[in-house]
Amino acid sequence: MLGGAYFNRASVHMGLGQWSQALPDLDQTIKILPQLSAAWAFRGLAYQELGDGKKALTDLTRAIEMKFKAPGVYNWRGECLAGIGQIEAAVADFTKALEMNPKFGQALYNRGSAYLLLKRFPQAEADLRRALAGEPGSEHGWYNLGMALYRQNKRQEAVVVFGKVLELNPKATDALVDAGHPFDAPGPVGSGPGGF
């Protein structure tokens, strides 16, 4: 019962975006209920949100090993892996999340962005289009789609897509630059508004 109380309080903190306040309660939950895979997953997410990718990766992997059955844990671990440059491994985790929930918009966006980094532009375009179908207000999604189109030599479509970014955010300087002139070597995905 006590472990559940800590876990529930941590969940409330997380829902409020209070990641550092959630950590001590998640630590206590794990101490009392080490078999609770959700506690490991949520602590991994809290570490990720606080910028500690190494601890996040450890806890998320532990939750997966404990058979935590939620696509979010694979998506979160994929984000950690992408953050340390393990893009192929990140794609595998995003794909696993999508196998569990094919309409998981964040995993579609993340996998599309990872494909962009891997220069798999047709796959990036496909995933980003699917993600945007569910979340058409994503400035980052539109930006990355514009980059995928540009890299496939679909320049006119790219200009239209960058225009969509500017509709959503008139101050999106990366989109202004990218839509305003041809370029041979645009910056990496992480340099624009749609990086990991």
* pLDDT per residue of the chain (196 residues) written in tens, 0 to 9: 677 899 999 999 999 999 999 999 999 999 999 999 999 999 999 999 999 999 999 999 999 999 998 999 999 999 999 999 999 999 999 999 999 999 999 999 999 999 999 999 999 999 999 999 999 999 999 999 999 999 999 999 999 999 999 899 888 776 556 655 444 444 444 433 344 5
Alpha carbon distance 27, 50 (integer Å): 15
Q: Is 190 helix (H, G, I), strand (E, B) or coil?
A: helix
Q: Per-residue DSSP letters for 33-92?
A: -TT-HHHHHHHHHHHHHTT-HHHHHHHHHHHHHTT---HHHHHHHHHHHHHTT-HHHHHH
Structure pTM?
Answer: 0.84
